[in-house]
Structures are given as C-alpha cells and as structure tokens.
Structure 1
C-alpha cells in the first residue's frame, strides 16, 4: 500500500540505510556464500546443518537487501538544516510540546524508517507528527492517540544548524 506522502528521510538516516546495505552485501553475504560453498563440498546436503542454515541465512540476507534497496530507491532525502521557514514544524524539526497536565516532551520528526521512540525520534507519519505539521510556537494541536484524545501546545521549535 502506497503512503499518501513521500518517504522522507534525513541524510543521516539515508547514510545508515546505505551502511546497512553495504555491510550485508560486502561482509555478511560473502561470508555465508563461503560457508555454503564449503558445506556443499562436504557431500550429502540433506543432513548438512551448515549447508541448510547457510542457505536459509542467505535467503534472509537477500530479502533484507531487497527491502533496503527499495527503501533507498523510494527515499526522498531532506536536510532539515535547509528548511526555509524555521518558525513552523516541518520535517526534521525538534519540537518541545506540553500536554494538558503541563508534562513537557521533546520529539524530533524524522522519516518513518528512522523512528526511535526511546530517543524521541518519531516517524513523520505518526499521529503526533501529523498533528504538529505546520504548527508554530503557541499553537494547540489535538492528537488522537490509542489512549484517547490529547491536546498539546507547541512550546519550542528548533532545527539543526
């Protein structure tokens, strides 16, 4: 299913995808090919654990390579440092928000492939990110979360230098 918006990603996120792809293709896959070749030379393959595991692992790596390749092909790299209007929340913004109980939370809007909730990096397509898009400091935004509706006030917006 296609997403209704481009697959935005930061330059750092794209570099990580590329590094993961290069590692799988240049290190992991050749190592498994070597094991499979060695195991295939040992005779009966039907009960050869190294051979069977190696073939299975090679299929997994090939699947990961295919997924990473598609993600990189579909990615639209956006550098938040070049955002022309830094007074509003757009892709790459780090936003401090406060809920109705005055609990503050800081989140950075990143590509969906870069999400790390524990580090405060939320996907561009998440409910909070969608609600914050285009907001300015002082704006109130209502977010529908699994636990119910919450109102957030935008307290601060910043972009990387």
Structure 2
C-alpha cells in the first residue's frame, strides 16, 4: 500500500459544498476575466520576456485555471450529506462533538469532509482517527483513539447537529 495515495472521502456538508461552489464561481466569473484582461493588455505592449505584468499575471492565470479544474472535478464527485433525524443522539458525519479525556481536557469540533477543514481549527476530517473512533457513539460513550503519539481514551460529552435554515 505504500506509495499509493489514499482517496479522499467524497462526503461534504451542504455548507461546505456551497463554499466550494462560491469559490469556483468567484474565480470563473470575476477573478479569471480580470486577470485575462491584464494579460491581454500586457501582451499588447510587445516584448513579453521582460514584462513583469505579463509574467506575473500569466502565472496567476495558470494557478486560477488549475484551481478551477480541480474544483469542477471535485464538485462533480462530491456527495452532499444533509442532516437526518435518525442521526440524533449519535455521532455521524456533520455532527458537532464535544469530548473529554481522563485529565479533564476537552475538545469541540465538527466532523466534516476533507475539503472543508482548511482554515478551520474547529473542524476535523471524517478520515481522521478521532472522527473514525467516534462514529456511532452516544453521550457518555468512550472512544479509544490511536495516533502516532499513542492511544488515548476520550468520552463523548455532547453531540448536536446544525439545523437547516
């Protein structure tokens, strides 16, 4: 299995999907046309080899196009998971969970898809060892989490789901 890249889970919350869609639309309808206009203007000035505006914006355009391609492919593959009343009282995808260890240290986080964790310290991926250990647990259940640092016991103290607007 070494050398192979593990496939990302294709689950996402509706909020996470909407954020990725908004990012795509911002890049495609606003940012890309602005940068394309600058590249065209800079190219019209002649010698492109020493034209910093052209060089910088051409690189920026490649980065934007790369991100747009990634987002389009990813948005097609993702499966939106909405809250279901059957989830109440147990830890499933999309849950906010509060846990406590034997020393009284507590953590609070939401279990989401891997595309949603960036820029957030209160979200963890469904693929994380903590999330996997907590799935289907209820309040007062314990979960043993194995990490590179060792094994640790956590108790579930609270579970709730954001309610759809």
Instruction: Provide TM-score, normalisation by structure 2.
Output: 0.89
Per-residue deviation, 1:119: 4.0
* Alignment correspondent of 2:74: 71
SS in 1 for 2:87: coil
Task: Tell me, in whole angstroms, the C-alpha distance in 2 between the residues paired with 1:17 and 1:33.
Answer: 22
1:110 aligned onto 2:117: no
1:37 aligned onto 2:40: yes
* Alignment correspondent of 2:92: 90
Note the aligned Cα RMSD (angstroms): 1.7
What does the per-residue CA deviation read over 1:84-122, in whole Å, with 9 as the maximum and x for residues that have no partner?
Answer: 231211001111111111222211111111115854111
Per-residue deviation, 1:145: 2.3
Per-residue deviation, 1:54: 1.5
* Alignment correspondent of 1:99: 101
Stretch deviating more after TM superposition (29-38 or 107-116):
107-116
Task: Tell me, in whole angstroms, the C-alpha distance in 1 between the residues paired with 2:47 and 2:106.
Answer: 63
Divergent runs of 4+, >3 A = 116-119
Change (3 A) 1:20 1:56: same
Correspondent of 1:54 among 47, 57, 64: 57
* Native 8 Å contact 1:6 1:76 kept in 2: no
Stretch deviating more after TM superposition (48-57 or 13-22):
48-57
* Alignment correspondent of 2:123: 121
Give unmatched runs, 5+ long, in structure 2: none
Instruction: Provide TM-score, normalisation by structure 1.
Output: 0.91
Task: Tell me, in whole angstroms, the C-alpha distance in 1 between the residues paired with 2:75 and 2:150.
Answer: 35
* Native 8 Å contact 2:138 2:156 kept in 1: yes
Task: Tell me, in whole angstroms, the C-alpha distance in 1 between the residues paired with 2:34 and 2:120.
Answer: 33
